[in-house]
Each structure stands twice: as C-alpha cells, then as structure tokens.
Structure 1
C-alpha cells in the first residue's frame, strides 16, 4: 500500500481557482524576468568585476613604477570589460588635451586644476560604466521581496475558496478540503522558487557592484598620487 501518493503538480495547477492561476502566471513571468537578469549579469557583471580587479592591479603596479602616466592609463584601457577602462580612456583624453604637461618630471608637474580635471574625468567615466552594469539589479530586489507575498496571497485565496466550498456540503471531510488546500499551496511554493534565486543573485550582484566602486575609488586616488598634486576631494568617486 502506497502511503505517500505521488503528487501531480500540473494537475493541481489545472484544478486551481482562476485567481490562483493568475497568481501563478504572474509568478512565472517574474521568474522568467529574474532569470533573464541573472543570466545577463552572469555574462556582464561577473567578467566586469574580474577585469576591474586585474586592471586595478596593473594600474597600481604601473603608477608605483613611476613610469609614464599615459602609458599606464593605456594599459588599463586594454581591458574594455572593466569600467576602469572608461576611466583610463577619459583621463588619457585630458592628458592629451592642448596645454597639458606630463607629470612624470618635476618641471612638468601639473597644477592642481589640471590634476583635478583628470580625476573628475576619470570619476565621471568610471561612474557611467558602473551605472550601466546596475541595470536590472532593482528587478531582482523586487522579485525577491514581492514573490513570496504574491504566492502567499494565492495560497490564502485558494484556502478561502476551499473552506467556502466545504461549507456548501452537508458532510465535512478532509478529502473534500485537502485537494483545494494542496492546490493553493503550490502558489506559495512557486513564490519561494522565484524569490530564493533572485535574492541570492541580488546579494551577489550588490557585492560585485560595491567592489567595482571600491576599485574605481582606489584607481582615482592612485592616479591623483601619481600626478603628485594634492586634490581636495578629487579622488572620491
């Protein structure tokens, strides 16, 4: 005798009330959207974070070597996946502007205004690159926060419908209300299935974005130190 019958989830979904079915459709759409964002971040944000860490290491090594600033920035710009590449390209553009003196010698040491222009250009370009990588992270937060409650709503509605149907019959029995409750609980399970991956991905993406901002800040400060000009707040991203 099989005391644990196999559950037919698709049959439960088919037998659910229209409201619960709409809740499941909404959760399914949220799942598709969240997984699309997760896969997109897997192929964009993760490589960007890895490239940023490598670019920062190269920049710090080049700046500490007291070599040419433009050559060091070109080295960073060779990693296009890293937001730091945009920052390096923007800084190089300022360095290449008319009237700029290379800061590799004492005589050519830039004044505070020139160094501030380089730092601001790098900060703006780096922030723009990081901002582009943030797209979709808010959707992950919304799905992870809302999906369990949407699923719970579907469950509560289904349970209410099951008990209401039970009140319409003369003989109360668990066999009459049990299937309705089981169908309603599918909504909660689906809500958790949407929320858990979205929440994990959101936390990972947030951590990677924080790391990118830290790398950007370190790059700007290292560049300011290499230019040998004190910047009042110019190294902050």
Structure 2
C-alpha cells in the first residue's frame, strides 16, 4: 500500500499557522470583505452618477431655455446636476431677496452663483468619493501587513528548526510555506483594491469634468436669459 501523504492544502497550512499569523490573516480577511463591499457599492453609485450627469448635461444643453433645462433636470432628483442647480437657484433667490440695490445685485449674481456651483461640485465629489480612501489604504497597507505575518511565521519556523536541531527541507518547508500564505493573501487584498481605486478615480474625474461643463453652461444661460423682474412681474428662467 502506498503511504498516505500529509495534508498540504491551503486550509491545513492556515490551521497550522501561529497565533500571530492567524490574527494577521483574520485582519486581512476583514479588510478584504469591507473592500469588496465598497467596490460593489461604488460600482453602482459612481457609474449611475456618471450616466445621470452625462445625460443631464445633454438635456440641459439642448433645452430651449433655462427654465426648460431646469425642469428636465428635475425629472431625476437624485442626479448630481439636479442637486447643483437646486442649490444655485436657492442662492439666486436669497440674493434676489437681499436688501441690496439692483445694480449691485446684478454685479454680484454671477460671482455668487459661481461660488455656489463650485461648492456644490466639491460637495458632490466628496459624497461620491466617500469610502474610497479605505481602498487606497488597503492597496498600500495590505501587502505590508501580509509581509509582517510572513516575517513572523518565518521567525517561528527558524525557531522550531533550532529546537529540532535539523535544517532538512522537510523541517523547514512547512513553517515557511505557512508564513508565505500571509504575503499571498495580502497581495490578494491589495490588487483588487488598487484596480478599483484607480478606476473609480478615473470615473470621478469624468464626472467632475461634466459637472464643471454644466456649471459653465448654467452660468452662461443665467447671464443671457435671467432678468430680475420681467415686464409682467414674473421672473424669467428661475420661476419656482
């Protein structure tokens, strides 16, 4: 009969690892679970934002006037452009009600709206990029955390070699292979996090560009189309 070979699978190596290495592996596993949760969540939210911003900008750009453009944007309340335009209109209303002479208001309106749109873009990007720093942390830290587990495991393996007073491969290999698993798992955590982080940053850069284009188009239309009070007493373009 052939001799039964000892178990050399990944699971058996993990079970035979030292307590410190097991703690490192558990920590890496928790990082991986949270990292993948963020990846799947952001895949949905960021790609949805990119689509809504791109479509919203096209609708606004093709609208016949400012009021029509705002109404079209209002059909998708969750769009970043809808949130941007809502904040801008609110600021316009506040400036309109301010106790400032009319000529001064005309001079302030574009700068005020520009600041509000810039703040709105910053706020939307911050919201969309929330949790992405954790992916960057995983990408940078996970390999070193795994390496720490590997170094600790190798130290323990050499300690066991010293106690056994034997440097045979059969004595050295199990402990070192168990330790190297930590580095492999660290890389398995870091690589997807790195790819996802770079992808999301690229998409967010596109979203930012579209929002900046929208802000420019919005300001141009305000400057061309909006008067403080029309001859009939109604406001043009930004009616509530």
- TM-score, structure 1 as length reference: 0.82
TM-superposed CA distance for 1:111, in Å, is 2.6
TM-superposed CA distance for 1:115, in Å, is 2.7
- Give the whole-Å Cα distance in 2 for the aligned partners of 1:55 and 1:21: 50
TM-superposed CA distance for 1:6, in Å, is 7.8
> Which residue does 1:234 correspond to in 2?
none
- Give the whole-Å Cα distance in 2 for the aligned partners of 1:168 and 1:183: 18
Aligned pairs (5 A) from 1:208-227: 208-227=203-222
> Which residue does 1:61 correspond to in 2?
62
TM-superposed CA distance for 1:58, in Å, is 1.6
Paired residue secondary structure (1:11): helix
> Which residue does 1:88 correspond to in 2?
85
- Give the whole-Å Cα distance in 1 for the aligned partners of 2:119 and 2:186: 40
* CA offset digits 1:169-218 (Å, max 9, x no partner): 23321001101111011101110110011111101111122122111211
Q: Over the residues paired in the alignment, what is the CA RMSD in angstroms?
A: 2.5
- Give the whole-Å Cα distance in 2 for the aligned partners of 1:73 and 1:31: 42
* Equivalent pair of 2:61/2:69 in contact (CA under 8 Å): no
Unaligned runs of 5+ in 1: 101-109, 230-237
TM-superposed CA distance for 1:130, in Å, is 2.2
* Equivalent pair of 1:77/1:84 in contact (CA under 8 Å): no
**Structure 1 or 2: larger helix share?**
2
> Which residue does 2:17 correspond to in 1?
16
* Equivalent pair of 1:13/1:21 in contact (CA under 8 Å): yes
- Give the whole-Å Cα distance in 1 for the aligned partners of 2:62 and 2:142: 46
* CA offset digits 1:49-88 (Å, max 9, x no partner): 11111111222222xxxx3312212212322343111111
> Which residue does 1:124 correspond to in 2?
119
Residue 30 in structure 1 maps to residue 27 in structure 2: no
* CA offset digits 1:115-160 (Å, max 9, x no partner): 3333333333333222111110000000010000110111111111
* Equivalent pair of 1:77/1:86 in contact (CA under 8 Å): no
- Give the whole-Å Cα distance in 2 for the aligned partners of 1:124 and 1:78: 23
* Equivalent pair of 1:150/1:191 in contact (CA under 8 Å): yes
Residue 159 in structure 1 maps to residue 143 in structure 2: no
* Equivalent pair of 1:83/1:130 in contact (CA under 8 Å): no
Unaligned runs of 5+ in 2: 98-104, 225-240
* Equivalent pair of 1:154/1:184 in contact (CA under 8 Å): yes
